[in-house]
Amino acid sequence: MENNADIARRIASAAGHLKGIQRMVEEDAYCIDIIRQVQAVQAALNKINALILDGHLHSCVITAVRGDDTAERERMLAEITNVFEMSNKI
């Protein structure tokens, strides 16, 4: 993926925020402040997912769709469907 450095930077940032949330809980911070920080981490993780999915769609999926291997194309489409099904369960 072209944007691996950006994704890695975003993951490190989210991990740092998560450690901050842990510290807030340990220090008995105000509940709403903790919730807001959790929501910020969730938004960051959603953005990371979107970047990874975009890279996957523009590389692996396009290669499979343009290729001659029907089974690979179907596998790739099923994989994308499964990702969306899982995201609805969360």
50-79 pLDDT, tens digit per residue, is: 999 999 999 999 999 899 999 999 999 999
Name which of 7, 77, 4 is nearest 46 in CA terms: 7
Can you tell me the distance from the alpha carbon of 19 to that of 7, in angstroms, rounded to the nearest whole number?
18
Q: What pLDDT does 89 receive? A: 81
Place of tokens 């008995």: 28
**Top-confidence residue, 63 or 90:** 63
Q: What pLDDT does 1 receive? A: 56
**Domains within the chain, CATH numbers bracketed:** 4-89 (1.20.58.1000)
Place of tokens 């929501």: 39
Q: What pLDDT does 15 receive? A: 97
Q: What would you report as the CA-atom Rg of the chain, rounded to the nearest whole angstrom? A: 18
